Amino acid sequence: MPVPPPDILHDLGQLLSSGEGADVTFEVGGEIFAAHRCVLAARSSVFRAELLGPMKESTSMCMQIEDMEPKIFQALLHFIYTDSVPEIDDADAVGMVQHLLVAADRYSLKRLKLTCEDKLCSYINTSTVATTVALAEQHACPALKEECFRFLESCNNSMLDLITRSSDFEHLARSCPSIMKELIPKLARKPPCVKKYSNM
């Protein structure tokens, strides 16, 4: 009789869904999420410090999570319990994955962070490249940053002109001058609007 494949991740997913035995709760954007300290601590060094370390919260206290949308925290929990990213609506895919990458970095979930990096590489286009390269710089994602650079290097002058005239690119130039110093020399073909950033 063949041995069935491991089903621990399915069982942990069921545990999260049922909330059975949950011993910690989180309030995120007005929504409450129940979870299990040991599972969170086993998967995230940040959760381990918060939940099992010297400064651990009381088991009866609901922990507040600031600066995160409920759907992002729910996706974060899903990954912690099942080691997979939940299905994401295509209409919201880029924003969802960007926010999930930030959450993965915040809670030191390296595999989730790399998964988000990989997904964002496939979403790079003229409308997303500026915000994506800024995100890559802020959260130490070198592979994602290099993919953004490769995309920009492959653009013709008219595409570069469109990108560099966008408000997202203007924000990138102001908030991440180090990116501009790296990027400008890489662009062999520079329309006038790119040249104006070369002295930053």
Q: The pTM is what?
A: 0.86
Which of the residue ranges 119-123, 154-158, 187-191, 195-199 would you say has the lowest mean pLDDT?
A: 195-199
Asked if residues 76 and 107 have their Cβ atoms less than 8 Å apart, the reply is yes
- Per-residue pLDDT of 6-33, as tens digits, reads 889 999 999 999 999 999 999 999 999 9
Query: Could you give the CA distance from residue 194 to residue 123 in angstroms, rounded to a whole number?
Result: 23
Asked if residues 112 and 75 have their Cβ atoms less than 8 Å apart, the reply is no
* CATH (residue range 1-109): 3.30.710.10
Supply φ then ψ for residue 190, to 5 degrees.
-120, 110
- The predicted pLDDT at position 190 comes to 54
- The predicted pLDDT at position 198 comes to 47
Indicate the fold that domain 124-200 takes in CATH. 1.25.40
Asked if residues 93 and 56 have their Cβ atoms less than 8 Å apart, the reply is no
- The predicted pLDDT at position 200 comes to 44
| 82-87, long-range: CB < 8 A, 24+ apart | 82/9, 82/10, 82/12, 82/13, 82/16, 83/9, 83/111, 84/9, 85/112, 85/115, 85/116, 85/119
Domain ranges of the chain: 1-109, 124-200
CA 176 to mean position of chain CA atoms: 18
- Per-residue pLDDT of 43-76, as tens digits, reads 999 999 999 887 665 555 789 999 999 999 999 9
